[in-house]
Amino acid sequence: MDSQARVGSIEALEGFRAALIRYTERARRALDDVSGEVKRTRGWLEVEQRQKWEQEFRRRTRLLEQAEQELYSARISSLQNDKSAQQMAVSKARRALAEAEEKLAVLKRWRQAYDARIEVLAKQLESLHETLSRQMPKGVVSLTNSIRLLQDYAEVHAPRPVTGAGESSSPTPETPDPS
């Protein structure tokens, strides 16, 4: 049995190490992008859309109140016998207000569903981020140390240069001539 290790290609290990570093950086950037997108989407749902539809609800409520006031004024006024325009305006304002209420309800359901669905995935992302941030650098360091040790081993156990016709440069004990 041979007592020396056969180191085939340290360059292959160095190439793997470089690829591992590139992969780790790209994966981290991708995770950061995904995390940012999750936060932006949550903000869009919780802040932008909520504010938009709450503001729209208030605006439509004012329009309904104004249309109802005009209809009431038309009923009281003896000058206008045809109140259909005001009645149509009130109906239109009620439908618009109902639409805003529905949008707010849908938005609330979306926020709840988003949190429920994303929470599981976000935990998986955190786990992957943990691996990329803590475990991969440890792996790169371990691989670097292994490469260094293998390089040192290869240098120590490198074949010695031949100095003459079949003689090595290292001294060898001479064997007595049997003649």
Please measure the distance between the N-terminal and C-terminal CA atoms of the chain and give it in whole angstroms: 33
Let me know: does 31 contact 121? Beta carbons within 8 Å.
Answer: no
Which residue has 């000058």 as its token pair? Answer: 79
Q: Give how far the C-alpha of residue 93 lies from the chain's centroid of Cα atoms, to the nearest Å.
A: 43
What is the reported pLDDT for 163? 65
Percent of residues, the chain, with pLDDT higher than 70: 81
Amino acid in the structure at residue 128: L
Answer whether residue 175 shows pLDDT above 50.
Answer: no
Question: For the segment 39-73, what is each residue's pLDDT rounded down to a tens digit?
Answer: 898 899 889 999 999 999 999 999 999 989 988 88
CA distance linking residue 138 with residue 158, whole number of Å: 30
| Mean pLDDT taken over the chain | 83
Backbone angles phi, psi at 102, to 5 degrees: -65, -40
Neighbours of 154 (CB within 10 A): 12
81's tokens: 């016998």
More reliable by pLDDT, 81 or 135: 135
Spans of all domains in the chain: 10-153
Its pTM stands at 0.59
Question: For the segment 64-100, what is each residue's pLDDT rounded down to a tens digit?
Answer: 999 899 888 877 776 656 678 888 989 999 999 999 9
